[in-house]
Every structure is written in structure tokens, then in C-alpha cells.
Amino acid sequence: MQDQPTPDRPLKIGTRGSPLALWQAHETRRRLMAAHDLPEAAFEIVAIKVLGDQILDRALREAGGKGLFTREIEEALADGAIDIAVHSMKDMPTVQPDGLVIDCYLPRADVRDGFVSPVAGGIADLPAGAVVGSSSLRRRAQLALRRPDLRLVEFRGNVQTRLRKLDDGVAQATFLAMAGLTRLGMAHVARSAIAPEEMLPAVAQGAIGVERRAADDRVAALLAPIHDRPTGHQLAAERAFLATLDGSCETPMAGLAVLSGDSLWLRGEILRPDGSACIAGERRGPIADGPALGTDLAQDLLGRAGPGFFG
């Protein structure tokens, strides 16, 4: 293609600075290099400090929610300081700022939650009263539903920080996404991977998205060969489900779309924050109807929940 990036004019890839975020940016660069037969020097990875990574003393929902992991990066993208931004899609709001779009996804990895503990092999093995650390309102609500006898504490930080807290005895167990652990070469840290039938994952868990300026046709052409269409179909359904629920860090919910041939199976659930109730449902239909299935399922769950369910 014309006007490809060069070592003199590299494509700037914006990312958070955590080890996992940097892995995702490097993977995006690797795929772009292979797709276009370009040298590594034709790309520059730019680590950007985001507010969400600096808040470790309180829950994110108290400080502004999901946008805390994206705002500074998206501002740099809109301003032209970077050319693309690489995100963990489960951190992304369902609506992008004006002028920005996400239409490129890398192949999705393991969607399951990993159970990490020095004292137990799984949720059922934890002793009564055990302390479990998690910053995810979804995981906390799902765990409270299954094991109301456990004590839940806030657990913020990247993968390495949370493992260190576990070693320090702050909690006896925590959860980490299997996708992130695998990407970091740390899958062995999980004592077990929790099947979606036992604990439905977060919407878009395991998926990496690449954001660009909507008007940048040059970058759109660069990204097109690395876009994974099956992942795109899954996330179209899941994020429509999330958008209809007006998902935020204050709303415990989970959703997962699975493809089979030309069909899509979407499961979703909403929970009370204290785990005292869960409303679940599913939809099946053609892949092309994924967004409509997501919207319909969300409307059904909200109708069954009634006003005040999350309160």
C-alpha cells in the first residue's frame, strides 16, 4: 500500500504502561509487521500514563469508572500524538469519543477467569470466612452469590501487584483473567480456570481492540489485514448487550457470545452488587443478528429485574 510507515516516519502505537498492556502493543506491532512485511523500526510504542493505573487506594467506581483506563490515551489519539491505541476491550466504554473508532480486533484469547490462591484449588475449596480480593464488581457479586460465607476485600493493581498482595497475605485468593496470565507466560499461576458455566466472564474478556481516528483511511488500510472477524462478531453482540444495560463499573454483569458455524449463542446475566440475586438469560440466532440479540437479551433481563435491582 502507499504511504506505509517507515523508520523515519514510524506508526505510533499508544498503550498503557503495564506489562500486560505493553505485551498487547508489541503483539499488535508484530502482526502489523508480518501483514505488511515491515521492520520493527517502522513502529514506535508509546506508553501513556492513565489515571486508572495510578489509583490503587480505592475502587475505580468511586473515581469515575472505565474511562479511567482510556481517557489520556484517547486524547493523545485525537490530538495526533499517536496513530493507533491498543486496549483491553473489557476496559472500554461502549461509546468512543467523537472522531475515534474501534473496528480492528486481534484474535480473542481464553475468556475464562483464573482462580489464584496459595491455599485452595478452587472456589469450593476455600474455607469458610476466607478473604478473597477483587476489584471487579462482577466477580465480587458472582462470588457472593456462590459463597456468601466468604469475606471480600478491594484488590487493585496490575497482575504483578495483585500477586504480590496475595503473597503478602492481604487475601487468600483472587481472580485474574486467564488471557492476561497466558499472554504474560504466567498461566501456571492459576490453580484452576473457571468454566463460563460456573462463572460467566466479563463482556469482551480476552479481546484486544485497536482504536484509530475515524477519518484516517491510511491507518484503516493498515489495520484491515490483522482484524479477526470472529472476534468482531462476538464483541458486536456482547457490547450491544453491555450498551443496552448502560454498563459501568457500578453494574455487576457478565456476557459471552460463542460462534458455531453461522450461528451465535449469547449468554448474559445481571447481579445485585451484594450477590443476593442473579437474573440470567440467553439468545441464539444468525451471526449477523448479534447486535440485535444483545440488545434484546439486555432488555429482557432489565424487564425481569424491575426498578431498583442494582440499588
Q: Dump pLDDT digits (tens) for 215-272.
A: 999 999 999 999 999 999 999 999 999 999 985 556 899 999 999 999 999 999 999 9
Q: Are residues 64 and 141 in the same domain?
A: no
55 pLDDT band, cuts 50/70/90, is very low
Within a domain: residue 29? yes
Distance in angstroms (rounded) separating the CA atoms of residues 219 and 14? 14
pLDDT (mean) for 32-40: 98
Q: How many CA atoms lie within 13 A of 16 on its CB side?
A: 23
Residue 166: is its pLDDT beyond 60?
yes
50 pLDDT band, cuts 50/70/90, is confident
Residue 68: is its pLDDT beyond 70?
no
Q: Which of 91, 113, 216, 296 is catalytic?
A: 91
Q: Judge whether 296 counts as a catalytic residue.
A: no
Distance in angstroms (rounded) separating the CA atoms of residues 242 and 302? 12
CA nearest neighbour of 102 among 37, 27, 28: 28
Q: Are residues 246 and 101 in the same domain?
A: no
Distance in angstroms (rounded) separating the CA atoms of residues 201 and 228? 20
Residue 2: is its pLDDT beyond 80?
no
Residue 66: is its pLDDT beyond 90?
no
pLDDT (mean) for 300-309: 91
- What is the reported pLDDT for 226? 98
- What is the reported pLDDT for 178? 97
Q: Are residues 189 and 262 in the same domain?
A: no
Q: Are residues 188 and 215 in the same domain?
A: no
For residue range 173-223, list pLDDT tens digits in order: 999 999 999 999 999 999 999 999 999 999 999 999 999 999 999 999 999
In terms of C-beta density within 10 A (0-12 exposed, 13-18 middle, 19 or more buried), how is residue 63 classed?
A: middle
Domain at 281, CATH number = 3.30.160.40
Within a domain: residue 232? no
Q: What value does the CA radius of gyration of the chain take, rounded to a whole number of Å?
A: 20
Q: Please provide the distance, in angstroms rounded to a whole number, between the alpha carbons at the two ends of the chain.
A: 53
Q: Count of domains in the chain?
A: 3
The answer to whether 227 touches 212, Cβ cutoff 8 Å, is no
Residue 160: is its pLDDT beyond 90?
no
The answer to whether 267 touches 298, Cβ cutoff 8 Å, is no
The backbone torsions φ and ψ at residue 38, rounded to the nearest 5 degrees and listed phi first, read: -115, 150
Q: Are residues 219 and 280 in the same domain?
A: no
Domain of residue 53, residue span? 11-106+207-227
Within a domain: residue 38? yes
Neighbours of 19 (CB within 10 A): 15
Tell whether pTM > 0.75.
yes
Q: Are residues 127 and 156 in the same domain?
A: yes
Q: Indicate the average pLDDT of the chain.
A: 92
Neighbours of 201 (CB within 10 A): 25
Q: Are residues 184 and 295 in the same domain?
A: no
| Alpha-carbon distance values, 81 to 44, 70, 91, 170 (Å) | 12, 15, 22, 40
Q: Are residues 213 and 276 in the same domain?
A: no
